[in-house]
Structure formats: structure tokens, C-alpha cells
Amino acid sequence: MKTIKQNIKIIAPSLILGIFLGWAIFGGSKSSEAHNHHELTEAEETVYTCSMHPQIKQNKPGLCPICAMDLVPMESGSIEGEHVDPNEIQMTESALALASVQTTIVKKGVPERDVQLLGKVKADERNVSELTARFGGRIEKLFVNYTGQQVKKGEKLGTIYSPELITAQKELLEAVKYKSSNPSFYNASRAKLKLWDLTEAQIDAIETRGETKTIFDIQSPISGTVTKRQVSAGDYVKEGSALFEVINLSKVWVMFDAYESDLPWIKKGDDIEFTLQSLPGKQFKGKVNFIDPFIDAQTRVAQVRVEFKNSKGQFKPEMFANGILKSTLAENTNELLIPKSSILWTGKRAVVYVKVPGRESASFIYRQITLGAEAGNFYIVADGLSEGEEIATNGVFKIDAAAQLAGKSSMMNLDGGKTTTGHKHHPQPATRNSQQDDSLSQYSSHNQQNATFKVSGNCSMCKSTIETAAKSLPGVNVANWNMETKELHVSFNEDKSSLTDIHNAIAKSGYDTDKETAPKDAYNNLPACCQYTRATEIATEANIQHETFKVSGNCGMCEKTIETAAKALEGLSDADWSQETKMIQVSFNSDKVKLTEIHKAIAGAGYDTELEKADDEVYNNLHGCCQYTRD
């Protein structure tokens, strides 16, 4: 019994020690094996890529087969869950900080914009008075000798002798005798003189005096400035002939040009601040009181009018004005507004990145939207966003770049899929479908060419048309025309379009290049502001000659006849005959008309020149006041 107890005491500790050693050896090895298997699984799941060529993916470290850079582990950036969109791009806090990503909440507001307008000072059309002859006669005296002279209402501008007026006065004096017996005859005689702009005082003076007046005054109907003088002393005028134009400049219009895109922002009553180049440092304020209901077919603008008092005479017609109109949309409604910095443009699409709510790490998703009008630093959103959504406003391009590298929907890759880097290399294990290869092949740099050449043009409208014409060709992805140097820089794939094709496309739109001349019809169809001076016109100007020679004549009627006869010739651009010196100055294109032909044309109208004498029959048919003394 004692022996058995002693044996148990000896065996029990040994058995316990054996069990412990067995667990330590076999159990520990299983745990170690499981741990090692876990590490191996993690290593197997790690994918290595090239930071310069993200299409390269391997399951082990190594060198990039394209650029020989070390491959680095690729972060999966995956988000797990039932309702996760496959196009979501996740960014860590450090990535957000490096990309300087900022977001904002989409809100509604009243769109505001500063509209910049260019304009000119114009006379108030309601204060323009045109004096015409109510009856035929001869101008005896002029008291207004130059344009720009200030006159007051009722002031004498000149005097006129008229046989018709003398006859009408005689009728009045005869009618006075029958005033009581035939009042209708008397009233008709007075009414006739009133229709000829004689005042009641002038008519009463004729009756009181009892005799006709041979000379009558031409009086100004308004106070203002004489802007046109159409007659000279001694001129014969017919009924309806223009004599003077008088404009009251105490109130003027400032007419601003508004493009079609500006019109939604302009309404009657809007305040506008403007400056004049002739009055630097001074600002003027006014209100819009008229918007032209028509768009000018040539300039593509509508006139916006501001009335302004000009008691000091500071505003002179044709002065240039620069205006800024602070306005809300004409409808004055609340709209969804987003900053310009949040939008990526593809040319046809506007893209934003919307932050996905409810994610532990920041996650963004591509969203295509429809934009409305521009509102200063904002755009109105017509469709695609809702109030309260959060969008990226800074670092948007970096988010888009990350989406492209990850093969998700992005600005340049709407359907997702890995993008190429612009290099042609041997095929890699990673594959793409043929449609993606075709759409991305245009970015191949091997066949990409750059060129710069001259294109004629004037303004920003020309810039838009020229660049659009170039980009309309397949393979042309860059076209930038410089308004100052008149040079166009293009980048294009020579497999799809040649440089000659680009020259031809621009010429067809109406613009001359240094290799192609635009068709005449295309040039003539350009808006007036876009019709640049062509090389052919410059060559024509080189053939313009200026000559001065003597032409006989007497009066203003002679002046008009002589100049009209000369200007009737093709190629003659200007003709100016002086009544005092009897000399005519002509400008003409010597390729189209000769100086001798000008002499003959004037002589054919009845006026002797230094080289040609008019026929006696033509001379005798001239008006009596025009029959000059012949040598």
C-alpha cells in the first residue's frame, strides 16, 4: 500500500509535466502556424503598383517594367457596405490635408452680379430740332456762322427772301379788307402764314403795317447748340430743304451696349455707376430707364439707356463711358448657388464632387450637373444638386485625379476604367476593352504636334470663333488665339487632322491665316466688330491718290452738284469743293479711276475744270444762281 502511494506521488508530477510540455509544443506550434498563415494571407492580399504608371499592378514588390521605379504597396481605399456606390473615392485625413480639400454646403440665395458695360454719351433725341425751309427762297444773311454756337429760343439764325411769302402777305392784306364780311377768307390767310412758321406777333405786325415784308427772320425753335449748318448766305433753298439742326444738351443719354448674356441681369430701375475717360477720378450714378427691345444684327448688342442732367456741359456726345451695374436676376428669385471653384469643365459637361454623408472617412462621388446663368463668383444650378448637399470647393481637380487613377468615373473618364499615361508600351497583364483604347488613343503624345501661326481678327468674339473652328476638327485638343499678337497656338494629332486642315477650317469661318484667305462671303457675314482690315485692303490703300484742282462754280447748290458728279465714279472715296477758293480736293483709287475721268465727269455736270470745259448746252441748263462767269 505504501509502495502504491509512493508510485502515485512520483508518477503524478511527471504526468502533469508531460501534459504541459505537450500543449506547449503542439498547441503553440498550431498558434504560431495560424499566426504565420495570417501574415502570409496579408502579404498575398497586398498589391504593388507604380506611382508614375498606376496601370501596373503586381502581387509582389519589384521594379516597374516601364520606368524601372520601385513598386509601392497600393492602398485599396475600398469602402465596405451594402449601399456603397462603386464610384465613391475615399480619402484619408492626411490625403485631404495634402490636397487642400475644402467643402461647402449647397444653399439657396438671390443671384447677384456686377455687369460691366461700355457705352457712349448721346444727345437726348427728344431735344433735337431740325429746321427746314417751309417755303422756297434765298438766304440773305446768316447770324450763325459755325457749328457749336449756342443759341436761345427765338434767337435769329438768319434771314430769308421769298417771293411765295410776299404773295401770301398780299393775300392777308387783301383779306383784312373783308375781315367782317368774309371772316373765313381772313382766317385762312392767317392760317397759311402760321403753317409757314410765322408767329402771331409777326402776322399782327404785317396787318398793322399794312404792307408786305420782303425779308423774314429764321428763328431757333429751342435753346441749345447748333450742330449742323446746311446753308450759306446767298443759297437758294426749296421747300423742305434742311437749314439748321439745334440740340439742347441740358439733358443727355448715356447709351450702354449689353450683350445677350448680360440681358437677364438688367432691368429698369437698376443703379449703374460709370466713369468717363475725359473726367478721370469722378464717378457718376444713374438708373436704367430703357432697354432696347431689339438686338443689333451686326454688333449683337442691345442698347441700355441712362438719362443724365448736363447743366454744366461736362457730358459731350460721343464721349466713352465705362459702367458697372450691380444687379440681381430680373426674376429676383432664390436659386441654388455654387462657387465657380467647385466646377470642373469638360467643354460639354459641368462636373462636381459631392461628399457622401455617413462615412467614417471622407468619401466623394462624381456628379454631372446642369448650370444656369453666371452670378459673379457663383453659378446657378439648374439641375443635378439639392439644397443641403455638401460639395468640394477646393482641391476638386486632385479628387478627380485620384478617381481617374482608381479607375472610377471622373471628368475625363465618364464610364470609369483605368486611364493610360500617354505612352505606348508593350501590352501589360491588365487589360482594357477596345472602346476605352479608342477613346484614349487621342492623347498619344507620339503623334501630337504643336504649331503657331498668324490669324487675322479683332475682338473676343473673333477669338471664340477662331478657336471653335480649329477645335471642331478631330484630334485638335488645344487652340488658343492671342488677340494682341494675332497668333494661334494649336496642339493636334497629325494622324487625324493636318495643319492644312486647320488653316482651311479657320478660313471657312471668315478669318484669313498666313496660308489661307477666307472666302469673301464668309468675311462679309462676320459681325461689324469682327471685320478686320484684310491684306488686300491694305494693298488697295497703297494705291489711293489725293489731288486738288480748280472747278468753276458759285454757291452751295454748285458745291453739291460738283461733289455728287465726282463721287458717282467707282473708286473715288472723297470729294470736297470749296466755295471760297473754287478748288476741289479728291481722293481716289488710281487702279479704278483716272484723274482725267474725274475732270470729264464734273464737266459733264456743267462745271468747267482746269482740263475740261463743260458743253454750252449743259452750262445754260444750270440754275440761275449757279451760272458762274466763264473764262
CA 190/CA 203 separation, integer angstroms: 7
Q: What is the DSSP letter of 75?
A: P
Residue 402 falls inside a structural domain: yes
CA 9/CA 143 separation, integer angstroms: 152
Residue count of the chain: 631
In the prediction, which pLDDT does 475 show? 87
Q: Please state, for a pLDDT cut of 90, what percent of the chain lies above it.
A: 23
Q: What DSSP element (H or E) covers 544?
A: strand 544-550
Residue 487 is part of a domain; what is its CATH number? 3.30.70.100
130 & 243 share domain:
yes
Q: Examine the pLDDT at 187 and tell me if it is beyond 60.
A: yes
Residue 56 falls inside a structural domain: no
Q: Of 196, 214, 247, which residue sits at a domain end?
A: 247
93 & 33 share domain:
no
- Return the closest-CA partner of residue 232 out of 555, 558, 553, 583: 555
- Return the closest-CA partner of residue 545 out of 611, 472, 615, 597: 597
In the prediction, which pLDDT does 421 show? 43
202 & 307 share domain:
no
- Mean pLDDT for the chain? 81
Residue 58 falls inside a structural domain: no
| Cell 471760297 sits on residue | 580
pLDDT tens-digit series, residues 536-595: 555 455 578 888 899 999 888 899 899 999 988 988 888 999 988 889 999 888 888 889
- Grid coordinates in use for 228? 449742323
Q: Examine the pLDDT at 50 and tell me if it is beyond 70.
A: yes
614 & 589 share domain:
yes
Residue 427 falls inside a structural domain: no
pLDDT tens-digit series, residues 431-487: 444 443 443 333 344 567 888 899 999 888 899 899 999 999 998 888 989 888 889
Residue 386 falls inside a structural domain: yes
306 & 320 share domain:
yes
Mean pLDDT of 283-289: 92
- Return the closest-CA partner of residue 288 out of 259, 315, 327, 318: 327
CA 221/CA 242 separation, integer angstroms: 14
Mean pLDDT of 381-404: 88
3-state class of 240 per DSSP? coil
In the prediction, which pLDDT does 19 show? 55
448 & 517 share domain:
yes
Residue 115 falls inside a structural domain: no
Confidence of residue 133 (pLDDT cuts 50, 70, 90): confident
Q: What DSSP element (H or E) covers 168?
A: helix 163-177
Q: Please state, for a pLDDT cut of 70, what percent of the chain lies above it.
A: 83
Q: What are the backbone dihedrals phi and psi of residue 167, each rounded to the nearest 5 degrees, phi first?
A: -65, -40
| pTM beyond 0.75, yes or no | no
Q: Which residues of 247-272 are buried (b: 16+ CB within 10 A; e: fewer)?
A: bbbeebbbbbbbeeebbbbbbeebeb
CA 245/CA 226 separation, integer angstroms: 6
- Grid coordinates in use for 550? 480748280
Q: Of 247, 282, 312, which residue sits at a domain end?
A: 247
509 & 556 share domain:
no
364 & 448 share domain:
no
Half-sphere exposure of 415 (CA within 13 A, CB side): 7
Secondary structure (DSSP) of 93-114: HHHHHHTT-EEEE-EEE--EEE
Residue 64 falls inside a structural domain: no
In the prediction, which pLDDT does 425 show? 43
Residue 499 falls inside a structural domain: yes
131 & 243 share domain:
yes
- Return the closest-CA partner of residue 573 out of 600, 601, 545, 550: 545
Q: Of 510, 538, 566, which residue sits at a domain end?
A: 538
Structural domain count of the chain: 6
- Grid coordinates in use for 196? 409757314
Question: What is the domain extent for residue 351?
Answer: 89-110+333-421
In the prediction, which pLDDT does 423 show? 43
Residue 219 is part of a domain; what is its CATH number? 2.40.50.100
